[in-house]
Each structure stands twice: as C-alpha cells, then as structure tokens.
Amino acid sequence: MKSLRLLTGGAAVALTATLVACGGSTPDPAANPSIENVVVAVGALPDSLTPSPWGGSASHVVLSGLGSQLLEYKVGASDGRTCPEPSTELAGRLAESAKPSPDGTGVVITLRKLTSQFGNTLSAEDIRWSFDIGMKRQPVMRGTLKSSGFNVDDLVKVIDERTLQLNTTGLTSYTEESLQNNLFYIHDSTEAKKHVTAEDPTANDWLSKNLADYSGWKLEEFTPGASLTVTADPAWEGTRGTVKRVAVKAVQSTATRSQLVESGEVQVANGFEYDQYKSLEKSPGVTVLNCASQTRDTMMINTTSGPLADPKVRHAVSMAIDREALVKGAYAGFGEPAGSIFPMVEGSAIYKFNKAEAKKLLAEAGYGNGFPMTLSYSVTRPGPVAAKSAVLLQSMLKDVGIDVQLQNVASSTDFSTALIEGRYQAVLYSEPIVIADPAFYSYAFYGTGAPSNSTGWSSPEFDKARSELSATPDQETDKRTSLLKKMASLVDDGAPILSLVETRGVLVTKTGLPGAVPLTNGQINFNALGR
C-alpha cells in the first residue's frame, strides 16, 4: 500500500490530456459466455438512487456501480484472480474527451453518443441541468466543485448539443479528476423534467426511485435500503462486459453473506469482518482480492466543546491507541497501522503508542481522573470491523482513564446526516478516496469551511499550504511531498481526526469473473463485469 502514487493528481495545473472513451478494449462476447447474471451482496444499500440523501458507502455501491459520470479512473486489466495495478489515469465514461479551453477559462467536454433508458440522446443540456440540480439538492457537491476550481455561479456554457465548457475560476491539480466523483451524476434531463413539481424542483423524489441516466442499465427493481436489480439496455452504445443482469442485495449478516458466497449464490461481495476474509481465502471457487488502497479508517472528533476541545486531550486519545494491536485484533492483518493523518507521511509523535504519556497529557489538561466519552460507529461505514474496533478502542482508552460509551447507529442515512451536521462527540469513520489527489482529500475533511469538515477545527496555515499544493503540478513531486508533510504536521498538531488504520481494498468474487475489481473507492463498476 505504501507504494501507491499518492502524490500524483492526474490533471496538474495545465490540463493537457484528451481522454479516450471508456478505456479498455471491446469485450469478446465468447470470452465468458456463461457469466450473464451476477448477484452482489453488500452490507447496506442507500434509500435513494441519487446522491441525495447521501448514504455514505451505501451510496457509493449504487452510484459507482451504475456509473453515469463524465469521467472515471481507468482500471487496469485483471483476470479476476489478481488485482490490477493502481492508477490515477483518467478515462471517459460519458465524455469522449476533456481538455482545457484555448483561452484557459474552463474545461471543454465532448460527449459520447449515448442513449438513456428512455431513448433520449446524451446532450450538453443534460450536463447543465444535472449539475444545476445537483448543487441545489446536495450542498456538498457545490462545495466540491468550488474547491476543484470550477465557477459554481456560472458553471456550464453550452457550445452545441454534444459540446460544453465547464467554466473555472482557476485550474487546480485535481480539477479534471473531480469529474469522476459520484456526486457529479448525470441524468436524462428530458425525462427527469417531466417529474419536476413545485414541491420538488429537482425531481429528486422521482429520480431517487427511478433510473433516468446514461449508465446503460434499466431498472428492474429497487427497494430502498434492501435490493437493486438492473438489466443491460440492449440499445445502449457503450462498452460493457458479458454480464446482462446485476442484482445487489443488502445482507446485514456477514455470516450469511459468507454462506451465500461459498454456496455460489453470490458472485461478488464485500464488507466482511477481516477474519472472515481469511476464511474465505480457503473456499473453493472463491477469490479474495487483497488490493492496494488509499482508504483510511479514522476517528473523527468534535473539537467544539467538552474535554475533547483541548488538543492535549485529543493527543492523549491518539497516544492511548495501540494501532498495531488494532490491526491484528480487528483487521486480521489486512492493513497497516497509521503513522500520521495522511498516507505516505510517517512518524507523527502523537501516533506512537505511549500510555504513560497519554496519562500525563490528560493530567496536564485537568483530566487526571479521566472523563466520559461517547464513541459512535456504524457497520455501514467503515464496515463490520467498526464493532470490533470500537470494543478494542474502548478497552485501550479505559487504560488511561477515559470511560467510553459505545453508540451503534444502524441507519446509513442517519449516520451520514449526524456526521455532516457534527452531532457526535467522537465517531469511527472511513475516508474512501473519491478523488485521489491529496490536494483534494486533504481539503474535504480538514479545510476551513470544507463540505465534510464537521469537527470544528480550522487552520489558516493549513489552508494556505493546501492551496499551494492544489496549484502545484504533478511533476513537481518534491515540492508536493514537502507541502503534504507540512499539512500532515499541522493536522496532527490539531488532531481533529485521528487515522487509525490504512486499509486494503478487499473484494470477494467468483474465481475467474473478469472486471470484478475494486475501484478507487472500493466499489465495482457493473459495466466492467465480465470484461
């Protein structure tokens, strides 16, 4: 995992690459003639087929799987038995090409010729409308676009039916990369507008239960939070594998999911407890892909009130955590102890397990006798490991006098909403990398006013360094590394979020099912199955 190219942002300040459509080769229909139906078992499904309300990793399952975004991270070839090489190279999904405008005022997008489930042709108006309603229904999308250098007050300039410009206020090192974000989902506006009402001007009520997009899939069935079944649209012009029907089932019990995989009833699954992955590695006909990842499991802390408002207390919490024991006890070795807040930056003083120093810091802060603390978690994110991690952390913190009460939040929507609104004291979380450039992910949770920063922490010095990182091209690796180390030091000093474990991208599949590989955010692309 440490060998990932974390310091490459894909686009750099001068966007020079023209994207090729969809990446990968045309599938051979005879390559896997028997694999036409795939059942996917996951821990949770969202309540909506749109990014609103956001259901955390449950929303990633649906929106990554369908894939109606302009761009995607190109996934290397895989035979279904091995992980592809990690990559931050971009390819087109709905876009045929993306390149800087001649005058440097934006990114010019040329669209592929694709039709929706309703027979409407992908157009620049679809992009304009989807971005407009997306920003209205999901404020995080507006913040992400703005941080990526886009002009959110004047975003889309339609050039012709298949060409548009996304206007910018200044290109960043991840402007282009942001267009593969699941938040930036493109709908069939012609069909969706038929369902706009005065009470629902974005048609989200209808879109949340119906598919009107350019994913290439027709909706057979969707039961919010429980199941989703889609079938391949034979009229769709895009590239897909041999799989023609995908059924995604929410199976909360990891033991039941394991049995379904072993019996062959399920061909793709994730979200297991890590010792179950070890067991599944021995099952005939089953492959456990243990792929490189940039995801971190973390503890987020509300820094605005109570004992945890004191940085010394937050440092003490960090130093009371034995991360190596956490990896062995909860992750069965599928991961590495975090060495600082960001991957690829090691050696933070507050990440060294030291109970004596933790007790000393608590005493200096006036909490020598400890204090009560509520730790919230949900098995929907970071996954089933959260329950075991929470118990281990409770025990570790008790050793320094902190009385941890555990709060399990069952609903993925309730958990995500509480997190965004800052309604927690401390919470276990996971940060899947939806945009691989560290200039972005170091903003989303840590930048002042950032859309996912609900801890209450901010640092003008951090903001300045991060802005400089976002303006530094990929090629200036030494400068980017230096800036990221400075930023990591500032965050670790403030300790609003503690990295616990740098995890792996682990996926269980039917042996030999091509295309069933984890994307950057750990999910799969339905159109890649059987390819």
Cβ proximity of 320 and 352 under 8 Å: no
Q: Is 322's pLDDT higher than 50? A: yes
Question: Any idea what the Cα angle at residue 338 is, between residues 351 and 463, rounded to 5°?
Answer: 80
**CATH 3.10.105.10 boundaries in the chain:** 296-503
What is the overall mean pLDDT for the chain? 90
Rounded mean pLDDT, 299-312: 97
pLDDT at site 441: 87
Q: What is the pLDDT of residues 354-397, one digit of tens each?
A: 999 999 999 999 999 999 999 999 987 788 899 999 999 999 99
Cβ proximity of 444 and 453 under 8 Å: yes
Distance, CA of 28 to CA of 119 (rounded, Å): 26
Question: Closest Cα partner for 363 from 323, 402, 393?
Answer: 402
Q: What is the pLDDT of residues 461-479, one digit of tens each?
A: 999 999 999 999 888 999 9
Domain 296-503 carries which CATH code? 3.10.105.10
Distance, CA of 72 to CA of 54 (rounded, Å): 20
Q: Domain 37-261+505-528 class?
A: alpha beta
Cβ proximity of 431 and 446 under 8 Å: no
Range from 1-10, 84-93, 159-168 carrying the lowest mean pLDDT:
1-10
* 328 vs 293, higher pLDDT: 328
**CATH 3.40.190.10 boundaries in the chain:** 37-261+505-528
Structure tokens at 173: 């090192």
What pTM was estimated for this model as a whole? 0.81
Cβ proximity of 142 and 152 under 8 Å: yes
Structure tokens at 256: 């039941």
Distance, CA of 475 to CA of 130 (rounded, Å): 33
Q: What is the pLDDT of residues 492-518, one digit of tens each?
A: 999 999 999 999 889 999 998 999 998
Q: How far is CA 429 from CA 125, 374, 379, 391, 498, in A?
A: 37, 14, 10, 15, 10
Rounded mean pLDDT, 5-32: 36
Rounded mean pLDDT, 73-77: 82
For residue 361, with 0-12 CB atoms within 10 Å meaning exposed, 13-18 middle and 19 or more buried, which class applies? Answer: buried
Rounded mean pLDDT, 109-137: 98
Residue 1 binned pLDDT confidence (cut-offs 50, 70, 90):
very low
pLDDT at site 34: 61
Structure tokens at 459: 């640092």
Structure tokens at 330: 């909860």
pLDDT at site 15: 39
Cβ proximity of 387 and 408 under 8 Å: yes
Q: Is 8's pLDDT higher than 70? A: no
Rounded mean pLDDT, 409-413: 83
Rounded mean pLDDT, 15-27: 36
Beta strand residue intervals within 257-365, DSSP E: 268-269, 286-291, 296-301, 335-337
